[in-house]
Amino acid sequence: MKNLFIVLSVLTSFIFFNCKGQTDSEIKNISVQEMKELLKMDDVQLVDVRTPEEYHSGFIANAENMDYFSPSFDEEIKKLDKEKPVVLYCKSGNRSYKSSVKLLELGFHKIYNLDGGIIKWQQEGLDVKKE
């Protein structure tokens, strides 16, 4: 009986901590409207993972460019603050989702991927900056 109690206690603890981890660290695909709300927060890190050429053709204000195809991409994303929310976007949402997976693997907690990318942002009539 004592052994059964120990096994059940260990199993319960494992389930509790495992489920807790799943809710704290996840990738959330967000709409343009959700992104607009997130960008109102002071501590959000906005990352454009397109190439520099794509970035210079038009980007969302305050975005930092970290080229997904760059050999230094993995090192660049490690410089982001793991405790602050990270919002990623690309042209259509594919590269930014792949980047989100990398962030998740590195231990980031609040990861948001703009569904539809900058294409969707512009379709909604929102501004982009140019350099």
Which residues does the annotation mark as catalytic? 90
Amino acid of residue 100: S
CB of 97 closer than 8 Å to CB of 15: no
Cα–Cα distance for residue pair 47/45, rounded to 1 Å: 6
List of residues 6+ apart from 120 with CB closer than 8 A: 32, 93, 114
